């Protein structure tokens, strides 16, 4: 069942996701939800607001719904061509702009980071795999490079395929009111740890893992690291550039002579987990007791220097926190957030 905030955050364009089907099905669905959220039956302090929202969305659905607005931006390439980029939502980061499209995700880097943009496609195309089995397992979690264009203003555009039904983690956190339930944060962490173990095997430090570079498929519990690849560095080499977020959570990389190690990526995983939980540091989890103690300890204590060792520590904390692994359904869908 959706939470009060999840329903209140639905837009008019998302009415059909809550009330699908014909008029009879819409009315039946409304009656069921209204019974659950009626202030006389629900103890939730927002129940009255939710009920009013349900009425509004039901009426919109009965009228055929509201289509999500068509958004687009025009980009000029350095060879004088005009590129029409259609999208559902735009997100601004300190590295540039991200455009979530129906089938693609586009990353636009400004002129000051054009070298990062140019490196992105090449680094994606050069990802390696031990064999076909690893390729099949990992390719679905990694980006598939598409168009790459130098822009007239000195910036750079990279387009990758968007996995069906995926949501930018930044948008998923916002949809949950800034705090994703811990049972869902657990499988998000597991997915990230799987990816960083692959990165360690491949000899790469991504260096830009964050809510702005990760896409989530709630229905499949899949995590996709699509953005930030222009910052990727070989293990043991000095990064040429890193996002501000990375230098904040891993300040020692700013010391002259420090090189890229897997510890950067596992530290970023912890930072992302804290973002998902709506916390700024692990100490809050230990004092508030809002998550199982083994989970809180894993986030709060320094990570292992190797991703594989940190993954083993995480799996131990996961079982101690939640017991045997099981699928936790998340009701949120991409249609609810993007309207398409």
Residue 329 has a pLDDT of 84
CA distance to 9, 10, 165, 231, 271, per residue, from 177 (Å): 9, 12, 20, 30, 18
Instruction: List, as one string, the DSSP characters of 245-307.
Output: HHHHH-GGGGSTT----HHHHHHHHHHHHHHHHT-SSHHHHHHH--S-HHHHHHHHSPPPSSH
Whether residue 207 contacts residue 239, with contact meaning beta carbons closer than 8 Å, is answered with: yes
pLDDT tens column, 34-91? 999 999 889 999 999 999 999 998 888 888 766 556 689 999 999 989 988 999 999 9
Query: Domains of the chain: which residue ranges?
Result: 4-67, 71-161, 167-335
Q: Which top CATH class is 167-335? A: mainly alpha
Asked whether residue 196 carries a pLDDT value surpassing 70, the answer given is: yes
Q: If you search the block for the tokens 């809180």, which residue do you land on?
A: 296
Taking the C-alpha atoms of residue 296 and residue 300, their distance in angstroms, rounded to an integer, is 6
Residue 335 has a pLDDT of 81
| pTM metric for this prediction | 0.81
pLDDT tens column, 169-193? 999 999 888 999 999 999 999 999 9
Average pLDDT of the chain to the nearest whole number: 91
Q: Give me the architecture of the 71-161 domain, per CATH.
A: 2-Layer Sandwich (3.30)
> What is the fold, at CATH topology level, of the domain defined by 4-67?
Helix Hairpins (1.10.287)
Annotate 155-193 with b (16+ C-beta within 10 A) or e (fewer): bbbbbbbbbeebbbbbbbbebbeeebebebbbbbbbbbb
């Amino acid at each position: 069942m959706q939470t009060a905030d999840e329903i209140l955050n639905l837009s008019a364009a998302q009415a059909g996701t809550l009330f699908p089907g014909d008029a009879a099905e819409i009315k039946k669905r409304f009656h069921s939800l209204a019974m659950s959220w009626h202030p006389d039956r629900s103890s939730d302090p927002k129940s009255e607001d939710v009920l009013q929202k349900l009425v509004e969305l039901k009426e919109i659905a009965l009228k055929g719904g509201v289509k999500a607005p068509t958004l687009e931006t025009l980009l000029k390439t350095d060879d004088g061509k005009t590129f029409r980029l259609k999208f559902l939502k735009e997100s601004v980061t300190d590295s540039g702009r991200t455009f979530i499209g129906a089938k693609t995700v586009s990353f636009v880097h400004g002129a000051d980071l054009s070298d990062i943009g140019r490196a992105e496609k090449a680094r994606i195309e050069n990802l390696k795999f031990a064999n076909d089995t690893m390729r099949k397992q990992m390719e679905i979690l990694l980006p598939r490079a598409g168009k790459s264009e130098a822009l007239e203003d000195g910036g750079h555009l990279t387009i990758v395929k968007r996995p069906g039904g995926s949501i930018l983690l930044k948008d998923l956190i916002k949809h949950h009111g800034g705090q994703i339930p811990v049972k869902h944060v657990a499988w998000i962490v597991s997915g990230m740890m799987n990816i960083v173990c692959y990165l360690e095997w491949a000899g790469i430090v991504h260096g830009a893992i964050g809510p702005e570079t990760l896409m989530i498929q709630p229905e499949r519990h899949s995590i996709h690291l699509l953005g930030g690849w222009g910052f990727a560095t070989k293990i043991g080499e000095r990064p040429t550039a890193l996002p501000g977020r990375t230098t904040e959570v891993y300040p020692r990389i700013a010391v002259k002579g420090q090189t890229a190690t897997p510890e950067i990526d596992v530290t970023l995983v912890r930072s992302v987990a804290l973002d998902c939980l709506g916390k700024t540091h692990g100490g809050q989890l230990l004092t508030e007791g809002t998550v199982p103690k083994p989970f809180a300890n894993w986030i709060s204590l320094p990570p292992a220097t190797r991703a594989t060792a940190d993954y083993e520590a995480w799996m131990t904390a996961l079982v101690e926190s939640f017991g045997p692994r099981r699928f936790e359904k998340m009701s949120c869908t991409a249609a609810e957030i993007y309207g398409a």
